[in-house]
Chains A and B, each alone.
Chain A
Amino acid sequence: MRAERPPVLFVVLATVGVAFFVLPLAGLVYRAPWETALSDLTSSEAITALRLSFVVSIAATALALLLGIPLAWIYARVAFPGRDIARALTTLPMILPPVVGGVALLFAFGRRGLFGQALDSMFGIRLPFTTAGAVLAATFVAMPFLVLTVEAGLRSMDRRYEDAARTLGAGRWVVFRRVTLPLVAPSIFAGAVLSWARALGEFGATITFAGNLPGTTQTLPLAVYIALETRPEVAIMLSLVLLAISLAILVGMRDRYLRAF
């Protein structure tokens, strides 16, 4: 890449742009109660939220992998009518306001919802106010990241390896498991990490669909919101945890993330 001397105007505007993102973080770090950091982070409400968030985000990522990899494969390999619309629908949560997602989930899987009603009357399953509901909300917003990343990986992989395996007598399932999966493993990993990060940060759909109860549905972002009014120092420390994780992921994944899109 050729180095270029930037115009002064660009430097000024870019600096403002950087400050716009860095100042809020600086504010958070500045207000952080470092003396009590450890006791704040190990307070029971913080531990409860950390544990629940861990469980919910991992479960959401697992669900996203289970449903998302086959979906990405079909998007990448099968040209069916309406594929673009299907893809748009399944990636909608990336830009949809999460609260809207939560309301939609409520009308679909709530007790009076389109399918929730049947779930309740036939199987006695109720999703709102349960950890499963929180997982569902997190998966709803997180899975698109996995699908898009894996689909991009599948499209850019060299399919001659699959052909070679097939000429050597491997069946479809063996080809998928022994050739395709290892080849797109980096994309799957990147997608899984992005999904996990998105699931970890999920707020709007969760509070709307799953509610807010410590230990059951009160994940880290919800705990931050509630604690801000009563124990701001806990809220700040939990925010910093979320911040550190997100930053670590973006720095660690930069190459993969950019390559995937």
Chain B
Amino acid sequence: MKVHLVSAFVLATALVLSACTTSSTGVDTPVVGEVTIFAASSLTDAFRQVGDQMMKAKGDVRLTFNFGSSSTLATQITNGAPADVFASADDANMQKIVDSKLADGSSKGFASNRLQIAVAAGNPKKIGGLDDLARPDVVLVLAAPTVPAGKYALEAMNKAGVVAKPLSQEVDVRAVLNKVSLGEADAGIVYVTDVMSAMGRVTGVDIPEQQQVIAHYPIAVVKGSKNAPLANRFIDFLVSPNGQNTLAEFGFSKP
């Protein structure tokens, strides 16, 4: 609810701003104002950085982010949340937006991500792979199966033939990371990028290629955006060499 209110306010401001600055000629309209970007929680750090870069480069723009699980964000958008851009951690939730005829144009893949097992710094429980997650002395936490990271985690465990019951199904992948970095859980399946963002508070254990699940990140402008030019500019920046470099710094792979 708070997000809706904030977004509504942001949008209202954006409306006023864009009304003030749109050039009367209509040619080469300067791209200014504000947009609200709904993005998967795994994108938190990377998008903040990209946003800072873009705001520095373009000056007159403001990007507001709403991070959450892709499924929560998709639910919010289909219920009328005023998002300008939606970046999902899987195709299924982007498809919900497309099916609801809320995507402006087609979605574009901009990054991919890989899974990793997050364990306590230094790996005191000596967790070597997905097999160890079934050990009775390992407190395992996963993302809920309704959110992309949870779905991918189950796929990976299926591929590995591992049956392990998590002690909690967290609401998004960052909550899984937090439970591990706080020491409440011994292990959780997250993205490679999440382990990097934890800056040493957790250690990442690699998942071998044949058990790996690749997460694809699509992005689209949301229909009814009050500032489609800026929304498109953000996406263009993301797929530009500059944007891709930043994403790579945070551990994301090419789409």
* Contacts from B to A (Cβ < 8 Å): 69, 71-72, 74-75, 139, 141, 144, 146-147, 166-171, 179, 182-185
The answer to the question of A196 belonging to the interface, with a C-beta cut-off of 8 Å to chain B, is no
CA gap between A4 and B104 in the complex, in Å: 56
Q: B184, A111: Cβ atoms under 8 Å?
A: yes
Contacts of A207 in B (CB 8 A): 171
Q: How many residues of A contact B (CB 8 A)?
A: 21
Could you list 21 A-B pairs, sorted by A, with CB under 8 Å? A110-B183, A110-B184, A111-B183, A112-B182, A129-B185, A207-B171, A211-B167, A211-B179, A212-B169, A213-B167, A213-B168, A216-B167, A217-B168, A226-B144, A228-B75, A229-B69, A229-B74, A229-B75, A229-B147, A230-B146, A232-B75
At the interface, is chain B mostly helix, strand, loop or mixed?
loop
CA gap between A212 and B144 in the complex, in Å: 8
CA gap between A207 and B176 in the complex, in Å: 12
Q: A129, B75: Cβ atoms under 8 Å?
A: no
Q: B183, A211: Cβ atoms under 8 Å?
A: no
CA gap between A19 and B49 in the complex, in Å: 42
Q: B184, A226: Cβ atoms under 8 Å?
A: no
B4 CB to closest chain A CB, in angstroms?
A: 12
| A227 to chain B: closest residue by CB | B146
Q: B184, A229: Cβ atoms under 8 Å?
A: no
The answer to the question of A128 belonging to the interface, with a C-beta cut-off of 8 Å to chain B, is yes
Contacts of A213 in B (CB 8 A): 166-169
Q: A229, B71: Cβ atoms under 8 Å?
A: yes
B89 CB to closest chain A CB, in angstroms?
A: 14
The answer to the question of A161 belonging to the interface, with a C-beta cut-off of 8 Å to chain B, is no
Contacts of B144 in A (CB 8 A): 212, 226
A85 CB to closest chain B CB, in angstroms?
A: 29
A201 CB to closest chain B CB, in angstroms?
A: 16
B190 CB to closest chain A CB, in angstroms?
A: 16
Contact of A212 among B72, B139, B170 (CB under 8 A): B170
CA gap between A112 and B182 in the complex, in Å: 8
Q: A129, B72: Cβ atoms under 8 Å?
A: no
CA gap between A128 and B166 in the complex, in Å: 13
**Most A Cβ at <10 Å: residue of B71, B72, B171:** B171
Q: A229, B182: Cβ atoms under 8 Å?
A: no
The answer to the question of A115 belonging to the interface, with a C-beta cut-off of 8 Å to chain B, is no
| A107 to chain B: closest residue by CB | B182
Tell me the A196-232 residues at the B interface (CB within 8 Å). Answer: 207, 210-214, 216-218, 225-226, 228-230, 232
Contacts of B72 in A (CB 8 A): 229
The answer to the question of A106 belonging to the interface, with a C-beta cut-off of 8 Å to chain B, is yes
Q: A226, B146: Cβ atoms under 8 Å?
A: yes
Which are the 8 A-B pairs with shortest beta-carbon distances?
A: A211-B168, A129-B167, A112-B183, A229-B71, A128-B184, A230-B146, A229-B75, A229-B146
Contacts of A210 in B (CB 8 A): 168
A24 CB to closest chain B CB, in angstroms?
A: 9
CA gap between A110 and B181 in the complex, in Å: 12
CA gap between A217 and B166 in the complex, in Å: 12
B217 CB to closest chain A CB, in angstroms?
A: 19
CA gap between A169 and B74 in the complex, in Å: 70
Contacts of B139 in A (CB 8 A): 111, 129
Contacts of B168 in A (CB 8 A): 128-129, 210-213, 217
Q: A112, B169: Cβ atoms under 8 Å?
A: no
Contact of B171 among A212, A216, A230, A232 (CB under 8 A): A212
| B140 to chain A: closest residue by CB | A129
